[in-house]
Structure 1
């Protein structure tokens, strides 16, 4: 068994390419299947945020030393 990709024969390279393509197709198919199964669909709705009552925020830079 040869452990170097540089000195591997043509059949070994072909096997590696086939396994990589199969894995890529499976990952892409899984991603498409999960994406289409979402409940949101293709419609988008705007979420409206309404302003509440005004709030006054004050800060004091005085430090209390006792």
Structure 2
């Protein structure tokens, strides 16, 4: 067995790829299986915002002190 990735032969690289694929499949399978399937309490409702009366914003250079 080669302990360096630079001097590894083809079978060692193949083993690394196979182990990485198996580990990725296991992680994906575990994450899919632990996901909750019930949506109780997590439902979202659509909220509609309606426009009100138009507002006019003006600005003048003078300041008003009361």
Scaled to the shorter chain, the TM-score interval is: 0.5 to 0.7
Alpha-carbon RMSD = 2.2
Q: As a proportion of its length, which structure holds more helix? A: 1
Runs of at least 4 residues off by over 4 Å: none
Q: What is the number of residues matched between the two proteins?
A: 44
- In structure 2, the gaps of 5 or more residues are 46-66
State the TM-score, normalized to the length of structure 2: 0.56
- In structure 1, the gaps of 5 or more residues are 47-66
Q: Which has the higher contact order (CA 8 A, sep 6+)?
A: 2
